[in-house]
């Protein structure tokens, strides 16, 4: 049932909208009320979705759907009523709020209440299907995505990997029809508020036109593509040596199941197959260091918090430790995909993770805490400015910190007894590249697919065919078994099932190096970029906080300039970081075919 507060809000807004003359002061009054109402609803939807993702039942799905439906209804109504103020001369701050209000729904719902409710229920059900997804093997063992990730990270049996890969992707076909309907409803909502489709709405959130943003992405991809091709060529060659040319064609795409990850999005788990010689005593195995310390999940999170506090940030509130989910419960299904939460837009910060004691989770913890510290830094901004400068910024914050997890840092915090003296630059850079560089085309292609789906360029009858065409084009990977339109492989990726925009991650993997380089310079570091840690630098922390505290109050180039001095997202920092590796890769690849 709709609350009385909402009823009164709508009555007041409708009376207000009937006035014939609109003024800037009326626009300000409208926005003040809108932000207050949205702030209250934001808490309600955050609490409901937190419970739904931590206790997946029919009842919690219904509760989350109710809350999401309510906020969608109010936001859509406010966007519609805000149109009466179009064309008014407003202050830059107020004009920005109206723009952000219009862009605030990732999936704008139709005005029709029944259609809006249908769309909400579909969205919640798709997310829950993913969270409950399991592959049950012939021996009766059922694997959730956490177990599947673990198995695919370590197994070197290509038949087992193929079986498990196909088994996980089998969770998605039941989503296909509902996903198509979700797209139709979301597009209807987007058109009703003035956008061509939902993809155009997503591309409008970057302080430039959708067309300018698409062109900027192409510019960035062309900057980093040569580095990716060098890495792809080397990895393909080494996997062909391991598995044979029949399984891994020396001049073709890499089979997706052999790259150590269910989605072939990060390749760090196959490092041991690449035959790279490390200087004796030069390597650092973070997983072994964590286990040697007998750390549990919470202990790992403490190290992540410690990096931020070393730079001058205040510790996380006690409620963070009381309310976060750090390990997978034994008695229920949860959505294990790592996420950071800001329940009340002030101090109720949390993470939700199924942490394993391993290096990748250690890095992920720093990433998720980056969201939390960003959220707290802008907590005093008005509600509509409580967000990252753009969504790529939010993803890049913690990763910039994670880049500074160097042997020197590990030594400073007591995880490593001494900093290795032997030169081990190439192996360490290769490990980083297998995760960060390998990810770039995957980070780009997810939304290239979705934008074409939203625009109608990709019809429902071609969902899977087009998915693999784009994966081949950008990543140079291919499915291990034949695929058809009876499959729905996009749905086996959380962000598609949960309707989370993905271009933010491509931007983040470039921005993080820009942030990292700026923080290194601010800390006074001199030397090769990949060797820098700014742990303990209050100077770097102060500069960092200056950008974080701005939230979304200014166009993102202003925020970028506050930290880096530049106003354009640029891949020169990531290319500088990996320059020694690319030189080495190109020497190794001499005589090998680049591309597929």
Cα dihedral 495/500/503/509 (nearest 10): -70
Give the model's pLDDT for residue 332. 86
Nearest CA among 443, 499, 503 for reference residue 128: 499
Please count the other Cβ atoms lying within 10 Å of the Cβ belonging to residue 473: 12
pLDDT-flagged residues of the chain (< 70)? 1-21, 280-282, 422-423
Contact 503, 217 (CB under 8 A): yes
d(CA 535, CA 307) in angstroms, rounded, equals 6
540 is catalytic: no
Question: Within 13 A of 298's CA, how many CA atoms are on the CB side?
Answer: 8
Give the model's pLDDT for residue 3. 43
pTM to 2 decimal places:
0.87
Nearest CA among 307, 323, 312 for reference residue 369: 307
Marked catalytic residue, from 95, 147, 170, 338: 338
Nearest CA among 99, 119, 101 for reference residue 109: 119
Q: How far is CA 553 from CA 95, 100, 380, 428, 587, in A?
A: 11, 10, 11, 38, 47
Give the model's pLDDT for residue 21. 56
Please count the other Cβ atoms lying within 10 Å of the Cβ belonging to residue 555: 17
Marked catalytic residue, from 24, 166, 408, 495: 495
508 is catalytic: no
Marked catalytic residue, from 371, 374, 400, 540: 371
Contact 155, 88 (CB under 8 A): no
Marked catalytic residue, from 228, 505, 525, 577: 505
d(CA 405, CA 428) in angstroms, rounded, equals 12
d(CA 531, CA 37) in angstroms, rounded, equals 48
Give the model's pLDDT for residue 337. 83
371 is catalytic: yes
337 is catalytic: yes
Marked catalytic residue, from 337, 366, 394, 530: 337
366 is catalytic: no
Marked catalytic residue, from 118, 121, 305, 368: 368
Give the model's pLDDT for residue 6. 39
367 is catalytic: yes
Instruction: State how beta strands 349-352 and 142-143 pair.
Output: unpaired
Contact 72, 81 (CB under 8 A): no
Q: What is the pLDDT of residues 344-367, one digit of tens each?
A: 999 999 999 999 999 889 989 998
Structure tokens given for 404 = 């500074």
53 is catalytic: no
Q: How far is CA 273 from CA 14, 231, 560, 561, in A?
A: 65, 14, 39, 41
Question: Within 13 A of 147's CA, how many CA atoms are on the CB side?
Answer: 15
Instruction: State how beta strands 254-255 and 477-478 pair.
Output: parallel
Domain definitions of the chain by residue range: 4-120, 134-170+195-296+375-596
Give the model's pLDDT for residue 428. 87
Marked catalytic residue, from 53, 149, 395, 522: 395
305 is catalytic: no
Structure tokens given for 145 = 């995505």
d(CA 15, CA 9) in angstroms, rounded, equals 10
Give the model's pLDDT for residue 65. 86
Give the model's pLDDT for residue 282. 61
Q: How far is CA 142 from CA 88, 135, 161, 350, in A?
A: 59, 5, 15, 29
Centroid of chain to Cα 517: 21
Instruction: State how beta strands 142-143 and 135-136 pair.
Output: antiparallel
Marked catalytic residue, from 232, 257, 367, 530: 367
d(CA 204, CA 198) in angstroms, rounded, equals 10
């Amino acid at each position: 049932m709709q609350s009385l507060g909402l009823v009164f809000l709508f009555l007041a807004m409708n009376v207000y909208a009937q006035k014939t003359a609109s003024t800037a002061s009326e626009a300000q009054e409208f926005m003040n009320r809108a932000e207050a109402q949205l702030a209250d609803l934001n808490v309600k939807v955050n609490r409901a979705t937190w419970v739904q993702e931590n206790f997946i039942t029919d009842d919690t799905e219904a509760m989350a759907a109710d809350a999401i439906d309510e906020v969608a209804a109010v936001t859509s109504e406010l966007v519609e009523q805000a149109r009466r103020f179009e064309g008014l001369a407003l202050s830059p701050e107020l004009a920005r709020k109206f723009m952000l209000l219009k862009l605030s729904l990732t999936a704008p719902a139709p005005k029709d209440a029944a259609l809006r409710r249908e769309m909400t229920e579909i969205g919640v059900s798709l997310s829950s299907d993913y969270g409950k997804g399991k592959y049950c093997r012939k021996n009766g063992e059922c694997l959730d995505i956490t177990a599947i990730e673990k198995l695919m990270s370590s197994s070197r049996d290509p038949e087992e990997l193929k079986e498990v890969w196909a088994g996980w992707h089998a969770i998605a076909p039941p989503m296909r029809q509902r996903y198509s309907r979700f797209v139709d409803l979301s597009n209807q909502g987007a058109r009703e508020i003035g956008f061509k489709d939902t993809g155009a709405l997503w591309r409008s959130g970057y302080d430039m036109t959708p067309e300018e943003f698409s062109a900027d992405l192409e510019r960035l991809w062309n900057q980093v593509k040569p580095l990716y091709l060098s890495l792809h060529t080397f990895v393909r060659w080494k996997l062909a040596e391991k598995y044979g040319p029949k399984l891994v064609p020396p001049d073709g795409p890499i089979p997706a199941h052999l790259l150590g990850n269910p989605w072939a999005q990060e390749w760090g788990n196959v490092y041991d197959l690449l035959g790279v010689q490390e200087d004796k005593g030069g390597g650092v195995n973070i997983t072994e260091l964590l286990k040697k310390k007998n750390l549990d999940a919470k202990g790992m999170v403490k190290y992540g918090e410690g990096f931020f506090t070393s730079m001058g940030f205040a510790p996380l509130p006690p409620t963070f430790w009381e309310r976060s989910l750090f390990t997978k419960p034994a008695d229920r299904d949860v959505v294990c995909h790592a996420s950071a939460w800001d329940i009340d837009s002030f101090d109720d910060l949390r993470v939700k993770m199924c942490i394993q004691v391993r290096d990748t989770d250690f890095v992920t913890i720093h990433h998720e805490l980056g969201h939390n510290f960003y959220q707290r830094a802008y907590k005093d901004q008005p509600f509509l400015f409580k967000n990252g400068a753009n969504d790529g910024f939010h993803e890049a914050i913690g990763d910039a910190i994670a880049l500074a997890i160097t042997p020197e840092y590990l030594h400073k915090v007591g995880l490593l007894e001494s900093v290795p003296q032997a030169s081990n630059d190439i192996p360490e850079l290769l490990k980083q590249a297998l995760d960060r560089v390998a990810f770039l085309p995957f980070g780009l292609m997810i939304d290239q697919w979705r934008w074409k789906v939203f625009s109608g360029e990709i019809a429902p009858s071609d969902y899977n065919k087009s998915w693999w065409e784009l994966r081949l084009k950008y990543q140079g990977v291919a499915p291990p078994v034949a695929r058809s339109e009876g499959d729905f492989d996009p749905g086996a990726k959380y962000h598609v099932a949960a309707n989370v925009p993905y271009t933010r991650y491509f931007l983040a993997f470039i921005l993080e190096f820009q942030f990292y380089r700026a923080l290194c310079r601010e800390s006074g570091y001199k030397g090769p970029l990949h060797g820098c840690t700014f742990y303990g630098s209050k100077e770097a922390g102060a500069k960092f906080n200056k950008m974080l505290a701005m939230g979304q109050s200014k166009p993102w180039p202003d925020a970028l300039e506050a930290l880096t001095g530049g106003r354009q997202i640029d891949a020169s920092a990531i290319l500088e970081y990996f320059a020694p590796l690319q030189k080495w890769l190109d020497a190794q690849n001499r005589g090998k075919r680049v591309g597929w």
